[in-house]
């Protein structure tokens, strides 16, 4: 796991669990130009730390033997106390899927599930560096979306868990969560197909080029294009093993850092 500075309530890490970590590294290197460094796992194997633009941004690991979990990305929010956050999750009707665990490089993490089943990681890093100012560079993670069947439950659970507040963009009707410092971190959508879940996005310079690249590398284009006025363009792709990932091309003309 990386050394990242704690920014409470913001997303500071993402990782992928997949049965084919070798293939995943090849796919994401081809998609985004990521580079990888192996970090040995105590009980065997490696956790592959992904870097973009000189920053550690996420990781890839092979699915543990016997695990029924499908290939998927997990997003991690920064918290001051992982153990206390897990207790809050349980008290709020959620579950702790991975109990608080120390990280070899320093820090502590856990994975929790909200009352509807959406999975989220929480992380307290040992030390590290702040993210660069302004918008993320192309190839870096940039946003999260929560799909929930009952938005009211999400609006109660996550502010209690992570200290988020609920906001709405000017002229918009979409709920956006903001961290304590005011940084907007995620939007809330009604789950119309599939189970409640979190989706992470990578900033790209061209959604059209990136979705075509995903298909050429053995992935699948799930949602070809969604235009969000004055925000940007979105596509949804799956890697060769089926892990879903959002692509986001910002509308720089209307974006203010």
**pLDDT confidence of residue 176:** 96
What is the rounded distance in angstroms from the CA atom of residue 181 to the CA atom of residue 201?
21
Q: Tokens for 255?
A: 């974006």
Asked whether residue 134 is assigned to any structural domain, the reply reads no
Asked whether residue 110 is assigned to any structural domain, the reply reads yes
Say whether both 179 and 217 belong to one domain: yes
What is the rounded distance in angstroms from the CA atom of residue 107 to the CA atom of residue 122?
11
Give yes or no for a contact between 164 and 176, defined as CB atoms under 8 angstroms apart: no
What is the rounded distance in angstroms from the CA atom of residue 125 to the CA atom of residue 102?
10
Say whether both 60 and 160 belong to one domain: no
Identify the domain containing residue 109 by its residue range.
11-125
pLDDT digits (tens, 9 = 90+) for 51-103: 999 999 999 999 988 888 899 999 999 999 999 999 999 999 999 999 999 98
Q: In the Cβ-directed half-sphere of 69, how many Cα atoms lie within 13 Å?
A: 18
Residue 131 has pLDDT above 60, yes or no: no
The whole-angstrom distance between residue 181's C-alpha and the CA centroid of its chain comes to 19
What is the arithmetic mean of pLDDT over 21-36?
98
Give yes or no for a contact between 136 and 232, defined as CB atoms under 8 angstroms apart: no
Give yes or no for a contact between 128 and 83, defined as CB atoms under 8 angstroms apart: no
Say whether both 83 and 155 belong to one domain: no
């Amino acid at each position: 796991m990386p050394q990242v500075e704690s920014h409470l309530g913001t997303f500071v890490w993402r990782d992928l669990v997949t049965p084919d970590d070798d293939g995943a590294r090849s796919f994401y290197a081809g998609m985004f130009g990521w580079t990888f460094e192996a970090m040995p796992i105590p009980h065997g194997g490696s956790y592959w730390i992904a870097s973009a633009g000189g920053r550690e941004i996420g990781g890839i690991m092979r699915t543990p033997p016997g695990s029924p979990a499908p290939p998927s990305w997990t997003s991690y929010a920064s918290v001051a106390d992982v153990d206390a956050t897990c207790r809050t999750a349980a008290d709020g009707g959620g579950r702790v899927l991975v109990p608080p665990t120390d990280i070899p490089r320093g820090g502590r993490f856990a994975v929790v599930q909200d009352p509807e089943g959406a999975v989220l990681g929480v992380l307290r890093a040992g030390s590290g560096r702040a993210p660069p100012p302004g918008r993320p560079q192309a190839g870096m993670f940039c946003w999260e979306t929560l799909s929930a069947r009952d938005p009211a439950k999400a609006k109660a659970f996550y502010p209690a868990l992570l200290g988020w507040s609920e906001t709405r963009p000017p002229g918009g009707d979409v709920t956006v969560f903001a961290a304590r410092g005011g940084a907007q971190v995620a939007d809330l959508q009604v789950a119309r197909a599939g189970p409640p879940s979190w989706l992470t996005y990578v900033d790209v310079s061209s959604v059209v080029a990136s979705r075509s690249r995903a298909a050429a590398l053995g992935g699948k284009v799930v949602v070809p294009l969604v235009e969000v006025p004055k925000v940007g363009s979105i596509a949804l792709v799956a890697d060769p093993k089926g892990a879903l990932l959002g692509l986001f091309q910002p509308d720089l003309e209307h974006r203010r850092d």
